[in-house]
Amino acid sequence: MKFAIALYSAAHAPSSRRALRFAQAALAGGHEIVRLFFYQDGVHSASSNIVTPQDEQDIAQQWAAFVSQHQLDGVVCIAAALRRGVLNEDEAARYQRPGINLQAPWELSGLGQLHDAIQSADRLICFGGP
């Protein structure tokens, strides 16, 4: 089955960890992930500036490693990310901000990527939110 996965929560939220475990299980089960789309506070799950205590899971780092390892399409909503200070090199330069906290494998793009994923997936699975 082809899954699109949307995440609306930051890396410290249980739903971010659950989304990651679901995504890992989907691939392990022979399914396909057409795209990950991080929206709302989910943009924080892609931040490369998160530091967790040594005895805790670093879910943001695990997300990035998972996306890289499987060469997945990891899209972070640009409007939601800018609003929350999640910036890649281009956006930090464009808005003259001092910090970069979004890097490969993540890509900033628009909501059209969510609709495109919805069209090509059999199922959209959403994690987090109200």
Partner 1 sequence: MPKSLLIISRQAPWAGPGAKEALDIVLACGAFDLPVALLFLDDGIFQLLANQNGAAIQQKNLTANLQALSMFGVDDVYACSYSLSERGISPAGLAVADVQSLPVEDVRALIDRYDQVITL
Residue 100 interacts with partner 1 (CB under 8 A)? no
Residue 110 interacts with partner 1 (CB under 8 A)? yes
Q: What is the C-alpha separation between 110 and 6, in angstroms, rounded?
A: 13
Options 50, 82, 92, 111; binder of partner 1; rule CB under 8 A: 111
Residues in the chain: 130
Binding string to partner 1 for residues 5 to 24, with x set by CB under 8 A, is what?
Answer: -x-x----------------
Residue 39 interacts with partner 1 (CB under 8 A)? yes
Helix (H, G, I), strand (E, B) or coil at 30: coil
Catalytic residue numbers read 77
Helix (H, G, I), strand (E, B) or coil at 4: strand
Residue 118 interacts with partner 1 (CB under 8 A)? yes
Helix (H) or strand (E) holding 28: helix 14-28
Q: What is the C-alpha separation between 98 and 53, in angstroms, rounded?
A: 25
20, 62 contact by CB (below 8 A): yes
Minimum CB–partner distance for residue 102 and partner 1 (Å): 18
Structure tokens at 88: 């890649």
Minimum CB–partner distance for residue 120 and partner 1 (Å): 9
Q: What is the C-alpha separation between 95 and 92, in angstroms, rounded?
A: 5
Task: Report the residue number, 105 or 127, with the smaller CB distance to partner 1.
Answer: 127
**Residue numbers of the site for partner 1 (CB under 8 A)?**
6, 8, 39-40, 79-80, 83, 110-112, 114-115, 118-119, 123-124, 126, 129-130
